[in-house]
Amino acid sequence: MTEPRDENPAEVMTFVERFAAEMVEAGMQRMAARVFSALLASEDGALSSAELGERLQVSPAAVSGAVRYLAQVGMVHREREPGSRRELYRVHSDQWYETFTSRSSYLSRWETTLRSGVHTVGEDTGAGRRLAETAAFFEFLQHELTGMMDRWREYKTTL
């Protein structure tokens, strides 16, 4: 394994802040985006709360809130450092695959709820047609996501 690039932590932090800003622009909470970016850019993909606070120059409370959110949405998990009481926060090894495939259950639930909404408002109404089209879109996404994730696993073997 390659040694961490500690010779220029300022460049690494510039990247962390830039990627975090991109995620904030897409709708993620700012501190969660910063913590996730810092974990993603760390050598082992895992840091303690103190290490995150030091790197990001934020309070332990800010790190705690961000990690709680990231754990709830399945983007990080907590683990104990062997032989220590210290917790580490780690990004999943196949982070993006896990994130996207976990969204499939949301799409399925949304589709089901939308289809019940069609019956509630009436199939022949403007609202019913919009809800039906939205449900069909989520159904389409589910099928495409499954195929796309299969193709990703195959592609990943070539990397």
Residue 106 has pLDDT above 50, yes or no: yes
Phi then psi dihedrals of residue 26, to 5 deg: -85, -5
- Tokens 């990231």: give the residue: 70
Mode of pairing for the β-strands spanning 76-80 and 46-48:
unpaired
pTM: 0.73
Q: What's the mean pLDDT in 101-119?
A: 87
Average pLDDT over residues 106-116: 91
Place 6 in a pLDDT band, splitting at 50, 70 and 90: low
Using DSSP's 3-state secondary structure scheme, residue 111 falls into helix
Strands, E assignment, 69-135 = 76-80, 87-91
pLDDT at site 2: 43
